[in-house]
């Protein structure tokens, strides 16, 4: 133990992290009785589970052994609850294609999701406005609850359980990689130690364990990160009246963006990023006050000033002289009547970006590689993008009989 700590690279280990994952460059003359997995995915969130699922369903991986490690318990969803969950994600059409490639999208369609066709993004201090829509008003994206996505992925994982093994309540506490030069007598695989003391070996470790990634720390990959001085407040809102509700609304206030995402004809999901103090206030105030705050955030022009209005109008006039464009009229989002009890939660926001996404025998996907602000609804979509890209490379490598961990392009 002491020897291992002594060998660890000092730059990657602040004192507090010593208790968690250990960095070890020590060459492991491993116990060959351990199963050697072809791929181990560490982290069973939406991105980790989707990665394991995608690999399990890939045709060139039919002969391979894949393991998914999830620290939490297995979430079983017998029946879809009537109340919507307050954690939702906007799934882009590309991500939907990935999910349907291994059959998870069908499950989502059978549960519930909401397609939106337009997006209006406008400013709190001026008349600035952007309207997004697709040709023929095709679906721009889908708002799906995170639990629904997880359930669909779990079902598809069970469908390939002969190739993909899932270990719940298993947290990896230590990772060790082979030395930088290939020594003849040492095991060339990655060794993972679990919380219960058991060890496994794998040719490729994929880290999908979130923005505080243990895999990233253990691999010693540099990470640029900082905390935004913002927290996001999420809630499920009841609209005053049933509408077609296929528009996503987002307004940029001085304190941060507030977004309303459609869930059904009468329900929408709120994501309001604002300062820590304001967020704490919003979560603790009573329901009526909260509803008023939300409505006024979308409707009120209190931040407009004459100066900005006249400057804005002049600019628009000048631009229209050069290039006449259709001026879209600002529409107002539906008004909110009620908020679901106990659906108000807040969580802090930050940025994170790993210096390298791949190294020999390790790859980072999802928030472990890049953590972003939810304002553009791209966090999980980038994770799914990582999966498509990594899957393409791994699939080709498997069909060429390559050692998967060495494919570090």
Partner 1 sequence: MWGSRRLSSSGGHFLGVVGSGCRVGRAERPRLASWAVYSDSQLIWTLQNKPWIFSEHRTVCFKSCRMTFSSLNRIKSYWPPLTRPYSAAHTTVDSSEVKTFLALAHKWWDEEGVYAPLHSMNDLRVPFIRDNLLKTMANHHPGKPLSGMKILDVGCGGGLLTEPLGRLGASVFGIDPVDENIKTAQHHKAFDPVLDKRIEYKVCSLEEIAEETEDTFDAVIASEVVEHVADLETFIQCCCRVLKHGGSLFITTINKTQLSYVLGIVFSEQIAGIVPKGTHTWEKFISPEKLESILESNGLLVQTVAGMIYNPFSGHWHWSENTSLNYAAHAVKSMAADHLGPADFVSKEETEAPQAEASTISQVHEELKE
CA distance 8 to 24: 5
> In this structure, what are the phi and psi dihedrals at residue 15, rounded to the nearest 5 degrees?
-55, -40
Three-state DSSP at 76 gives: coil
CA distance 338 to 103: 36
Q: Do residues 211 and 352 touch, judged by C-beta distance below 8 A? A: yes
Which residue among 175, 189, 290, 357 contacts partner 1 (CB under 8 A)?
Answer: 189
Q: How far is the CB of 31 from partner 1 (least distance, A)?
A: 12
DSSP 8-state assignment for residue 403: -
CA distance 243 to 265: 5
Q: How far is the CB of 150 from partner 1 (least distance, A)?
A: 27
Q: Do residues 322 and 227 touch, judged by C-beta distance below 8 A? A: no
Q: How far is the CB of 11 from partner 1 (least distance, A)?
A: 24
Which residue among 43, 188, 257, 385 contacts partner 1 (CB under 8 A)?
Answer: 188
Which residue among 10, 16, 136, 182 contacts partner 1 (CB under 8 A)?
Answer: 182
Which residue among 6, 184, 224, 355 contacts partner 1 (CB under 8 A)?
Answer: 184
Which residue among 64, 117, 191, 211 contacts partner 1 (CB under 8 A)?
Answer: 64
CA distance 275 to 255: 6
Instruction: Please report the beta strands in 22-73, taking only residues with DSSP state E, as ranges in sequence order.
Output: 36-42, 66-69
392 touching partner 1, by CB under 8 A: no
Query: Is 143 or 192 the residue whose CB approaches partner 1 more closely?
Result: 192
36 touching partner 1, by CB under 8 A: yes
Which residue among 92, 120, 187, 250 contacts partner 1 (CB under 8 A)?
Answer: 187
Which residue among 10, 11, 19, 63 contacts partner 1 (CB under 8 A)?
Answer: 63
Total residues contacting partner 1 (rule CB under 8 A)?
22
61 touching partner 1, by CB under 8 A: yes
Q: Which two tokens stand for residue 248?
A: 């996503």
CA distance 151 to 108: 8
Tell me which stretch binds partner 1 (CB under 8 A): 55-63, 169-177, 269-277, 335-343. Answer: 55-63
> In this structure, what are the phi and psi dihedrals at residue 158, rounded to the nearest 5 degrees?
-65, -30
Tell me which stretch binds partner 1 (CB under 8 A): 97-105, 132-140, 143-151, 401-409. Answer: 401-409
Query: Is 78 or 185 the residue whose CB approaches partner 1 more closely?
Result: 185
Query: Is 34 or 147 the residue whose CB approaches partner 1 more closely?
Result: 34
Q: How far is the CB of 167 from partner 1 (least distance, A)?
A: 20
By C-alpha distance, which of 208, 235, 234 is closest to 153?
208
Q: Do residues 367 and 89 touch, judged by C-beta distance below 8 A? A: no
Torsion on CA atoms 57, 60, 63, 68, rounded to nearest 10: -40
Binding mask 4-33 toward partner 1 (x if CB under 8 A, else -) reads ----------------------------x-
CA distance 123 to 326: 18
Q: Which residues bind partner 1 (CB under 8 A)?
A: 32, 36, 59-64, 181-182, 184-185, 187-189, 398-403, 406
């Amino acid at each position: 133990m002491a020897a291992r700590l002594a060998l660890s690279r000092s730059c990657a280990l602040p004192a507090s992290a010593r208790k968690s994952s250990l960095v070890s460059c020590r060459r492991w003359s491993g116990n060959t009785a351990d199963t050697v997995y072809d791929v181990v995915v560490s982290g069973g969130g939406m991105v980790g589970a989707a990665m394991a699922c995608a690999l399990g369903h890939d045709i060139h991986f039919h002969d391979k052994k894949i393991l998914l490690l999830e620290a939490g318990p297995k979430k079983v969803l017998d029946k879809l609850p009537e109340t919507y969950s307050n954690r939702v994600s906007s799934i882009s059409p590309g991500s939907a294609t990935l999910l349907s490639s291994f059959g998870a999208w069908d499950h989502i369609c059978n549960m519930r999701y909401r397609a939106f066709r337009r997006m209006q993004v406008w400013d709190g201090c001026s008349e600035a406005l952007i309207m997004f829509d697709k040709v023929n008003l095709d679906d721009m994206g889908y708002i799906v609850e995170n639990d629904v996505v997880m359930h669909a992925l779990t079902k598809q994982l069970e469908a390939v359980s002969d190739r993909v093994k899932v270990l719940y309540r298993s947290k990896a506490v230590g990772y060790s990689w082979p030395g930088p030069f290939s020594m003849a007598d040492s095991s060339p695989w990655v060794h993972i130690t679990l919380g219960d003391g058991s060890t496994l070996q794998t040719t490729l470790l994929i880290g999908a364990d979130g923005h505080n990634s243990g895999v990233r720390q253990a691999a010693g990959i540099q990470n640029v990160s900082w905390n935004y001085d913002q927290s996001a407040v999420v809630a499920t809102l009841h609209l005053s009246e049933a509408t077609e509700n296929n528009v996503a609304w987002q307004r940029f206030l001085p304190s941060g963006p507030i977004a309303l995402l459609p869930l059904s004809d009468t329900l929408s999901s709120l994501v309001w990023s604002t300062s820590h103090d304001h967020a704490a206030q919003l979560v603790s105030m009573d329901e009526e006050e909260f509803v008023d705050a939300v409505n006024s955030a979308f409707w009120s022009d209190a931040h407009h000033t004459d100066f900005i209005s006249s400057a804005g109008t002049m600019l628009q006039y000048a631009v229209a002289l050069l290039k006449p464009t259709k001026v879209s009229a600002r529409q107002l989002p539906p008004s909110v009547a009620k908020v679901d009890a106990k659906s108000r939660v807040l969580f802090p926001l930050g940025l994170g970006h790993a210096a390298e996404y791949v190294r020999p025998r390790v790859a980072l996907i999802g928030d472990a590689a890049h953590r972003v602000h939810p304002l553009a609804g791209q966090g999980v979509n980038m994770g799914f993008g990582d999966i498509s890209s990594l899957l393409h490379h791994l699939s080709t490598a498997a069909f060429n009989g390559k050692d998967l961990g060495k494919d570090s392009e």
